[in-house]
């Protein structure tokens, strides 16, 4: 007689990770803090496809016909807008979260391909200034290391209101990473668990921001583009208000966007996916008549040239990468597998950037671990990766018959899920249906 | 022309400003952009400037970055003398939000009262407000010295990291919430202290420090024994399960 037995089954609601988290919380009494971005599955660029050319459109010749990639950022008010050779920029990541050598490597890689890199919540280091052709200086609520000399040395200024990983939240840097140099740059006692403010200390609301941007322009004699960065939530309204406040460039960071250290609950439960944010931002810019005049930079989960092309087809002028840039430098590299295992994780899953024990030597201030990253080699790897992203995006653009990445348009896209179709506002593949819009209606 | 190369110390009496070769920049005639551009011009040729008819304009005399004196004849709006480096700025009136925000060095002297966030995030220099300062005075201060002749509003010295804040009058609610290493001296009443801010003993070095600060702002007759010192209990410096209600 066959013995039928029930098989032990884990719950979809109380899955093993959830149970482990309850146990951990009960044990420690403190929420989980980690780096990286949202890890749950979300509607994303993978849910979109391009309609390559055939009979009704004709393509450009793959390797012969020109497909431009350059972009001008911030030409609305600034005397010196940025002119980048590729629309893939490096997002703001703080010295403190990253080692000085990692910042240097980011500057080297970005400069090699003619794009910009960005400071972060910890001020400007000489390493990154000297190695970065185009350096964007972040102006954050904490104002750590905020120095008017650095403002003048910057090529653009980015007023940070929020990050996709934690819209509405401030920064965190745990004591392990507050070394003497980091503490000194931030005017903090060495080794404290640093919390940085979520609101700017001297303005609240869009009307104040208008005045603040005016001040930044006056201080720098109207030379530099001023960006405004927001985490994606009420993106349609936030973009309108940013433009009203005088932004030359709006940066929208979706919930997949990376972070150096944030509560897990914040990363996974606050904000909207990048895909949902882009059409809202573009609609806001179009309604104000400033689409392509106030440039839109999109970030949060950009990994491939296809992602770049899709973001641009939806209306972005450029994109920014954080996590992918760190991976290009060597983050989560399998060659450190034994070290990852010693930390209770594995290459590909490591996200405890806050601990400062990064085996790859990137998200750390440990003097020995830092040596594992060679800034020249790291810079070269990043430049390679940026070139691949650019060439991949060009491959797609040519296939769609576009002589410049900026000529990509929503009309080139379809969605393979109803969710993505509704969020990205492009038709479900094989139909003319955009959920929320009349069937057959035009974009 | 009398080259005023000597850096004017913050302790000088701001009334002694009448020197030769004073340049007048009139905001009733020139735009703000023109006035600030002149003030930034390293070849301006004079070190003593009077700005007239500010009429509450924002961002007056921001981003100055060399030793010079600038007297603003009237009330100013937001961010007056913002990010000041080395210059000595006097506002002969009231100042709006964020006066001397992120000052690095030099001095800013407000003859009237100041609105919110006076001296916010400032890294150095001296800010004197002869009247009152509203909420969030010295918020996130990072090394500046602030002396307020009157009282200050709520949430002042929030997350104050370094520097000294002296208040001759009273302080409103939540003084010094989440304060780091800044020191606060208050003569009058404190409505309430914020998280992790505590009253501390006045040791001889604190009397000495306070006396110097008061003197630099022209209040040398004050008795330092009438003041109480406040600072960080340092109990929130590390995340701890028993402190969760404070995070
Ligand atoms: C290690 C790390 C540090 C970061 N630090 C900052 C910061 O200081 N300021 C900021 O605005 N964003 C910061 N971010 C967010 C990035 O600027 C960017 O928004 C995000 O990484 C983009 O998403 P992606 O990582 O999926 O490319 C950080 C991200 C990472 C991974």
Q: What is the pLDDT of residue A77?
A: 96
Q: How far apart are CA A257 and CA A94, in angstroms?
A: 15
Cβ pair B58:A211 closer than 8 A: yes
Average pLDDT in the A434-442 region? 75
Most informative mutation of A157, A322, A325, A355 for ligand 1 (most atoms within 8 A of CB): A322
- Tokens standing for residue A189: 């006692």
* Interface pTM, i.e. ipTM: 0.93
Asked if residue B116 belongs to a domain, the reply is: no
Say how many domains are in chain B.
1
Q: How far apart are CA A373 and CA A379, in angstroms?
A: 10
- Residue B238: which of A149, A175, A221 has the nearest Cβ? A175
Q: Which residues contact B245 (CB under 8 A, 6 or more apart)?
A: none
Residue B145 reports pLDDT greater than 50: yes
Average pLDDT in the B202-225 region? 98
Average pLDDT in the A323-333 region? 98
Q: What is the sign of the dihedral through the CA atoms of B64, B68, B73 and B74? A: positive
- Measured from the Cα of A158, ligand 1's closest atom is 11
The pLDDT-based confidence of A300 (bands split at 50, 70, 90) is: very high
Q: pTM higher than 0.80 for the full model?
A: yes
Asked if residue B225 belongs to a domain, the reply is: yes
Q: Find the range with the poorest average confidence among A186-195, A234-243, B65-74.
A: A186-195
Which carries the bigger pLDDT value, residue A61 or residue B211? B211
pLDDT in tens, A52-64: 999 999 999 987 8
A430, with CB counted inside 10 A (0-12, 13-18, 19+), is exposed
Which carries the bigger pLDDT value, residue A441 or residue B199? B199
Q: Are A246 and A210 in contact (CB under 8 A)?
A: yes
Asked if residue B173 belongs to a domain, the reply is: yes
Range of the domain at B192: 155-239
Q: What are the DSSP E strand ranges found in A220-346?
A: 226-231, 249-253, 259-263, 295-299, 318-321
**For domain A35-408, which CATH number applies: 3.30.428.10, 3.40.50.1820, 3.20.20.70, 3.40.720.10?**
3.20.20.70
Tell me which residue of A91, A201, A394 sits closest to B159, measured CA to CA: A201
Q: Which residue of A has its CA nearest to B234?
A: A192
Cα of first residue to Cα of last residue in chain A, in angstroms, is 64
Q: How far apart are CA B113 and CA B134, in angstroms?
A: 8
Tell me which residue of A24, A16, A25, A88 sits closest to A394, measured CA to CA: A88
A90 phi, psi to nearest 5 deg: -100, 125
pLDDT in tens, A205-262: 999 999 999 999 999 999 999 999 999 999 999 999 999 999 999 999 999 999 999 9
SS3 content of chain B, % helix, strand, coil (to 5): 15, 25, 60
Cβ pair A148:B117 closer than 8 A: no
Q: Which residues contact B114 (CB under 8 A, 6 or more apart)?
A: B94, B95, B96, B99, B129, B131, B132, B133, B134, B137
- Tokens standing for residue A367: 């003097």
Q: What is the sign of the dihedral through the CA atoms of B170, B113, B130 and A201? A: positive
> For strand B22-26 and strand B48-52, is the pairing parallel, antiparallel, or unpaired?
parallel
What mean pLDDT is reported for chain A?
Answer: 95
Residue B14 reports pLDDT greater than 50: no
Closest CA of chain B from A131, distance in Å: 26
Contacts of A192 in chain B (CB under 8 A): 180, 237-238
Task: Give bridge partners of residue B89 from the DSSP assignment.
Answer: B70, B108
Q: How far apart are CA A394 and CA A315, in angstroms?
A: 16
Spell out the domain ranges in chain A.
35-408
Q: What is the pLDDT of residue A158?
A: 98
Q: What is the pLDDT of residue A174?
A: 85
Q: How far apart are CA B100 and CA A37, in angstroms?
A: 37
Residue A103 reports pLDDT greater than 90: yes
Q: Are A138 and A119 in contact (CB under 8 A)?
A: yes
- Tokens standing for residue A300: 């949060």
Residue linked to tokens 């770049």? A308
Torsion angle of alpha carbons A402, A405, A407, A409, nearest 10°?
100
Average pLDDT in the B108-133 region? 98
């Amino acid at each position: 007689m066959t013995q039928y037995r029930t098989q032990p089954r884990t719950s979809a609601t109380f899955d093993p990770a959830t149970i482990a988290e309850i146990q951990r919380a009960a044990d420690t009494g403190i929420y989980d803090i980690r780096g990286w971005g949202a890890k749950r599955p979300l509607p994303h660029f993978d849910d979109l496809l391009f309609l390559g050319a055939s009979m009704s459109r004709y393509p450009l010749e793959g390797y012969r016909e020109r497909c431009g990639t350059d972009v001008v950022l911030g030409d609305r008010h600034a005397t010196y807008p940025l002119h980048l050779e590729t629309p893939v920029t490096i997002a703001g990541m703080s010295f403190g979260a990253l080692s000085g050598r990692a910042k240097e490597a980011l500057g080297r890689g970005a400069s090699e391909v003619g794009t910009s890199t960005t400071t972060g919540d910890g001020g400007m280091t000489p390493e990154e200034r000297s190695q970065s052709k185009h350096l964007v200086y972040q102006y954050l609520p904490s104002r750590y290391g905020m120095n008017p000399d650095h403002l003048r040395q910057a090529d653009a200024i980015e007023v940070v209101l929020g990050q996709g990983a934690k819209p509405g939240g401030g920064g965190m840097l745990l004591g392990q990473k507050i070394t003497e140099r980091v503490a000194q740059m931030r005017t903090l006692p060495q080794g404290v668990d640093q919390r940085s403010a979520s609101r700017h200390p001297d303005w609240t609301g869009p009307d104040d921001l208008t005045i603040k941007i005016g001040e930044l322009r006056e201080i720098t004699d109207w030379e530099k583009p001023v960006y405004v960065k927001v985490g994606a939530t009420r993106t349609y309204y936030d973009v309108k208000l940013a433009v009203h406040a005088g932004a030359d460039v709006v940066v929208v960071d979706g919930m997949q966007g990376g972070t150096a250290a944030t509560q897990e609950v914040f990363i996974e439960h606050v904000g909207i996916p990048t895909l949902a944010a882009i059409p809202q931002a573009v609609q806001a810019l179009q309604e104000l008549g400033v689409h392509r005049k106030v440039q839109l930079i999109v970030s949060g989960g950009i990994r491939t040239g296809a992602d770049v092309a899709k973001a641009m087809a939806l209306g972005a002028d450029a994109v920014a990468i954080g996590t992918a840039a760190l991976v290009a430098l060597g983050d989560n590299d399998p060659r450190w597998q034994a070290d990852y295992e010693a930390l209770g994780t594995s290459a590909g899953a490591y996200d405890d950037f806050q601990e400062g024990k990064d085996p790859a030597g990137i998200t750390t201030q440990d003097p020995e671990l830092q040596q594992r990253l060679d800034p020249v080699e790291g810079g070269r790897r990043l430049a390679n990766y940026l070139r691949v992203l650019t060439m991949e995006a060009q491959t797609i653009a040519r296939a769609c018959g576009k002589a410049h990445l900026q000529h990509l348009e929503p009309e080139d896209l379809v969605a393979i899920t109803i969710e993505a179709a509704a969020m990205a506002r492009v038709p479900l593949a094989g139909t003319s249906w955009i959920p929320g819009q009349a069937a057959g209606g035009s974009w | 022309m009398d080259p005023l190369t000597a850096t004017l110390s913050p302790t000088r009496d701001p009334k002694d400003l009448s020197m030769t070769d004073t340049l007048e920049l009139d905001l009733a005639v020139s735009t703000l952009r023109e006035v600030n551009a002149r003030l930034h011009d390293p070849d301006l040729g004079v070190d003593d400037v009077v700005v007239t008819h500010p009429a509450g304009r924002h961002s007056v005399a921001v981003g100055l970055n060399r030793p010079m004196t600038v007297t603003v004849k009237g009330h100013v709006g937001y961010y007056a003398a913002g990010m000041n480096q080395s210059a000595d700025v006097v506002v002969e009136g009231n100042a709006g939000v964020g006066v001397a925000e992120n000052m690095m060095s030099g001095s800013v002297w407000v003859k009237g009262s100041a609105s919110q966030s006076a001296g916010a995030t400032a890294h150095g220099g001296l800010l004197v407000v002869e009247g009152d300062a509203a909420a969030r005075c010295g918020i996130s201060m990072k090394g500046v010295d602030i002396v307020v002749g009157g009282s200050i509003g709520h949430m002042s010295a929030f997350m104050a990291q370094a520097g000294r804040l002296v208040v001759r009058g009273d302080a409103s609610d939540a003084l010094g919430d989440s304060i780091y290493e800044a020191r606060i001296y208050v003569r009058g009443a404190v409505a309430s202290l914020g998280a992790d801010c505590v009253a501390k003993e006045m040791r001889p070095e604190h009397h000495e420090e306070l006396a110097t600060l008061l003197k630099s702002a022209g209040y040398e007759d004050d008795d330092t024994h009438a003041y109480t010192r406040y600072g960080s209990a340092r109990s929130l410096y590390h995340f701890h399960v028993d402190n969760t209600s404070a995070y």
